[in-house]
Structure 1
Amino acid sequence: MYINPDSPRQKMINLMYIVLMALLALNVSSDVLNGFSLVDESLSRTTANSTVQNNALFQELAGANRQNPEKVGPWYEKAAHVKAMADSLYRYVDELKLRIVQEADGDDGDVAHIENREDLEAASYVMLAPTRGEGKELYNRINRFRETMLSYVGDPVQQQIIRENLSTTVPNSFQAAGKNWQEYIFENTPVAAAVTLLTKLQSDVRYAEGEVLHLLTQNTDVQDVRVNQLQAYVIPTSQNVVRGGTYSARIILAAVDSTQRPAIYIGGQRQPDNKEGWYETVCNRTGEFSLNGYLELTQGNGDTLRRPFEQKYTVVEPSATVSATLMNVLYAGYDNPISISVPGIPASQVQATLANGNGTLRRQGNGYIARPANIGKDAVIRVTAQVNGRTQSMGDYTYRVRQLPDPSPFIEYPDKGTPKRYRGGTGLPKAVLMNTPGIVAAIDDGLLNINFRVLGFETVFFDNMGNAVPEVSAGASFSARQKEMFRRLSRGKRFYISRVRAVGPDGVERTLPTTLEVIVN
């Protein structure tokens, strides 16, 4: 319980302490000593009340620690340390009071009924004896307790009150006389006054203990009213779930600290406890669904807070996007680029295979390379993905397998550093023709660009009588005989390149049906 330093009780204690110290400087009478007993009784009652209040505050902290040790634990441990120090010092002072009274009244001495209240030797003997005096030990204990309490208090006003109440500073006039704190307090002090001073010390100990316990309690929010704008939320990893996949959602209570875990109820059933509030269920049917339930949270005052929640989600059929990068069919014996993706799934978690064994499918860069083996047998691409830690089928996709189409023959020559292909039908400068080593063959239709290796071809010239003069080349290069025929050609003359034999990347050798007409310009 917090004690206001400016309360009438505290002011009364301070005033009595001032009066007590003033009286100690006088040669007091028996009536005045009776007054000390009255002050001691009042201080004892006040201290007892403070003890009860402090114990209640500590028990409240202990209860909160049992409910939420993760949050309250560190503060409870500090409070336990504070209480242990205060109780230890309090009991030690109680022992000193009893020893002083027994020194004055004998072994049967009773602190509550002091007979030799005016005895000036008892307190000095117990507290100041050269080898067995307890004054130095009390001085050290007060200093340790004071500094520990100050380490927990940040408010300057509270610090000043605790520092003054538990001060062991000797006034300058007594310092000049060479007295230390224990001599200043207990030398030639009547038993009644010494006991009252020690009771006042116990009261100050309980006051400091209460201040720190109150501060530690505030730090745990034990007595705070919880916010009244709490709402329950469901945070799914995705609102679209593939059939057969897993719906995952995080169910949280907004505006509550992460150390207080609410109980989750779905369909009236309490879900297993987990720190992050995850809920998962396998989705075997497509359509729209709703996750309904409520959260329950026990507040600091013991009341139960309940908040309902609802979250809609959609379950869809498995789907994937599969497209041939360059063509609508797959060509046998050729590396066909394939792009495969699944909406909402990272590429690294998507896998694809040729399900029916017709060739190979391998990952390359951000895509795949399909190389079917058999013409006329479909290639079935099977797509799977890792969804929530399990392999999920995304469907099979069938492609027809065809042979690569026949290429076309070209005469390739450089034009200002850029390769240019002569396709026939127009004039070709004779100088270009003479400097060209041979012909090439390729599929070059704007969609595919696939080079073939030329194995041989035939050129057909016509003499002045109109007779056909064929010349055969072994390989892709013009033969010497063919070059000689080129030199004899005049402007406007033409010849034909035919019977071109070529082999493509699929390893299939073919004779091209296309004839290339060359017109000499």
Structure 2
Amino acid sequence: MAGGKASARQKMINLMYLVFIAMMAMNMSKEVLSAFGLMEAKFADSNEATIERNDKLLAELEGKADENPKEFKVPAARAQQVKIISDKFYKYIETLKRDLVKKGEYVLDEKGKLPFEAMDKTDILDELWFTGDRLTKKGDEVMTNINAYKKAVNDILSTDESYRGRAQAFEKTFSTEKVENKDGKKIDWLAYNYQGFPAIASYTKLTAMQNDVKVTESDMFSLFLGNIVSEATTLNNYKAIVLADKSAFFAGEKFQGRVVIGKYANVAPTKLVVQGKEIDLSKSIDSTGAATLDFNVGNVGEHDIKGKFTFIENGQELEIPIVNANYVVVPRPNSATISADKMNVVYRGVKNPMTISFAGVPDNKVSASASGLTKAGKSGKYTMVPTSGKEVTIIVSATLDDDSRVSDKATFRIKDIPKPTGQLAGMSNGKLPRANIAAGTVKAELLDFDFELPLSVTGFKVKVPGQPSITVSGSKMSGQARAAINKARRGDDVTIFDIKSRSSGPAIKPASPIVIELAN
């Protein structure tokens, strides 16, 4: 453009043109850098929200594991593994981001915001991670950590064939295969994504990788909970629904009905009428869109259920009638109803409330017997206090109107009182001032236990770093324990363990330890 044959005037015009283009490029660069900064901020906000959501999902899984260990103990354990793996890799990526900011000598403003438009250096990661066509020691470390994270997650996903779809999606998200550039040449994944890029672009990509980690964690928690939802069109979302011609059959009859493929519509109706009576929607519609019916069944015999749903579709009312619905009222019961009021197990040494009845038989003609079972006063109410063994069987008998007798039984598992949680100042671990620890009261709490069973701490042990363990009687620190705490240094962990307690009923296991960091 500025060749030797051009006139002086033409050379000057060409030079001005080059300066103009350079100025445009500088302005565009600032806009691009700022756009990367805005993207990074959005990823960071998303990460915070996902972390909070994941904590709730993990807590739900752990709660289900306590309620139903047979079904959820293994998924909850896998979720804990995923949590540890994800947190470790997430924190490692955070160190890479801090190194990038430190090497670039970037300073946050008073709002804690990065100087996006100034983060245009391309040589920071180039020097840290790359040397010619190879990776530096730091670059190898980055790839080692990525591959270690991938392997750890894949090891968990390989434990169950039903996780295959999630494993394939994970591999696609964290693929580190060579990438073809615009010239058709395949280059290493790390170089393709980070070599030669402005600092803010690399910083944003690292935050995006953290987002992938937390989204993967969320998907796996949902997978373990059984909440991964397929596409709406897949038949996996449908159920085989049996529609019987009537809801009860007498002995000797043939079953008559139909099987259809359908699914529940989670759409709120505007009106529901059953048996000529309008139903209160606020009390009868559940989260799946199903309506709960509650009406007197009437006399013995067959009865039809008539009514209709009313929905709004395209701005107009749409009525869907209830058809082919009926039920049968039968006079003779053939099975007992035995249920635990609070759970499907009974706890050793405490009063477990029970409801025991025989369908269609008054309470004064029903008798129930089992070790530790007594009447509780009200109709159908009993109290079970199991003492030994792993199971207890309740046998129920009833006398019918024709003086014939029927009987049934149910077996419940007997569980010990769960291990209590040790607490000081309402916490099991955390940070407290020295005086608060020395003056605090050690407690043993049965968290999430459905029975009132107050516990009294009778003794515990205290361990301060660099000093021998101290045995304490009662629930308050002894003089020796307070002296040891006063000798500890700020930041030391004071461990309270072997926390023994007693109840008004059964023996109680030692509570879990308490670890408190000295705040001063």
**Is the structural similarity TM-score above 0.5?**
no
Q: Which has the larger radius of gyration?
A: 1
The structure with more strand, counted as a fraction of residues: 1
